[in-house]
Amino acid sequence: MTSRHAKYAGVVSGCIVGALLSSCIQREPVADVTYRAVDELYESVVAATSPFKVIVEIDHSRLAAEKGETMPPARVIIFSDPAVNTSILQEEPRAGLDLPFRVLAYAEGDEPAVIFTTAGYLKSRYGIADGPALQRYEEEVLSVVSAVPEDVVVAFDTSSFGKEQGIVTLGSAYGFDETIERLKAAITAEGDTIWFGDIDYREEAAALGVELPRLTLLLFGAPGPGGKAMAERPRMGLDAFCQKLLVYQTPGGQIEVLFNEMPALSELHYGDSALPHKVITRRMRDTLGGAIER
């Protein structure tokens, strides 16, 4: 263990004999320390989100374990400032796919780390110009990330990611509300999925006196397939998982459904992708297309 993580070394020094012995069987000390370290980082992040609206907290690795999949510790919190969302969406509604704020505490090997969605990512992926909207976004997410030591924060390099790269867009043959209903029904019928919630961006903006097009983000996940896909790539727990659908009514009245292509996000974070990422993307296309295309 490096000196960078020495402060975590005393968290788990061994197993307590007796009644608790069974809970220590087949548990590696490094794994214990790593989980505790990630949990500690995550709780620091959670405490710093108190000024914001928390949308959902997802413990990827423990959910995956419940489905029999093993992956490194990874916990994401999705939290929101409706005013920031609204100011960015006024410039580019499709950016709702990567809003609101997201911060992931995770481990690569035995190294705990934190990564977050940057304003630079929104700028490069959606062509949003530098200005007050992105500046406020960056200031607020950094106010949360500053709760953890600077040396555990991983740089999120988006320089190789082009505009709208890795975004799949499907056209819906149904109206806005019916599209959402059909998507929810198709997703929850899969049997291995968890519904995490949704965000009505238009409603948020209306409360602030701003008019946006109809724009809703749907959040869900499948811990078994997700755990398999993140087994060697836990950093994907930031933006690939949970899975997100953006339902958008364009200025021309068309209903579009946007989601992330898993191989593209794996290549962004790790430089390559694996078969599980392609399988999930194909499953998404088939399930969603079957729900909204005639």
Q: Which amino acid is at 167?
A: I
pTM of the model: 0.86
Tokens (6 digits) for 294: 């005639």
d(CA 256, CA 248): 5
Give the chain's count of helices (H) and strands (E). 10, 9
What fold, for 27-292? TATA-Binding Protein (3.30.310)
The answer to whether residues 268 and 161 touch, using CB atoms and an 8 Å cutoff, is yes
Closest CA to 261 of 161, 134, 187, 175: 161
In the chain, the largest separation of any two C-alpha atoms, in whole Å, equals 68
The answer to whether residues 61 and 241 touch, using CB atoms and an 8 Å cutoff, is no
Which tens digit of pLDDT belongs to each residue from 137-191? 999 999 999 999 999 999 887 777 778 888 999 999 999 999 999 999 999 998 8
Q: How many residues does the chain have?
A: 294
Q: Count of CB atoms within 10 A of residue 30's CB?
A: 13
Show pLDDT as tens, one digit a residue, over the chain (294 residues): 233 333 322 222 222 222 222 233 333 434 578 899 999 999 999 999 999 999 999 999 999 999 999 999 999 999 999 999 999 999 999 999 999 999 999 999 889 999 999 999 999 999 998 999 999 999 999 999 999 999 999 988 777 777 888 899 999 999 999 999 999 999 999 888 899 999 999 999 999 999 999 999 999 998 998 988 888 999 999 988 899 999 999 999 999 999 999 888 888 888 888 888 888 888 888 999 999 987
Extents of the domains making up the chain: 27-292
The answer to whether residues 133 and 255 touch, using CB atoms and an 8 Å cutoff, is no
